[in-house]
Amino acid sequence: MHPTYLVLLHTRCRIAGTRYPVGTRLMIPELRVAAHLTRCGAARPADERTRLDVALFAALDAALPKS
């Protein structure tokens, strides 16, 4: 079973065709999507494991050379 990442929305978002209001807690199955929502300011990690995984993903993304 794949882990899911819990985020809390700060703005209204449309994800996969569904609109979510501010304050919604979502379980996102993809780390890349959770990291994007966090990076663009639409959401923040809602638990410690998600916060750590998103931070590691961002650090790895910054360390890899861009092609």
Please state, for a pLDDT cut of 70, what percent of the chain lies above it.
Answer: 99
Q: Tell me the sheet residues that pair with 6.
A: 27
Sequence spans of domains, the chain: 5-63
Picking from 37, 16, 61, 22, the residue whose alpha carbon sits closest to that of residue 6 is 37
SS3 21: coil
The pLDDT tens digits for 46-65 are: 999 999 999 999 999 999 88
Question: In whole angstroms, what is the distance from residue 16 CA to residue 52 CA?
Answer: 25
Q: Each residue of 9-18: b (16+ CB within 10 Å) or e? A: beeebeeeee
Question: Is 41 a residue whose pLDDT tops 70?
Answer: yes
Question: In whole angstroms, what is the distance from residue 40 CA to residue 32 CA?
Answer: 12
**What is the pTM for the complete model shown?**
0.86
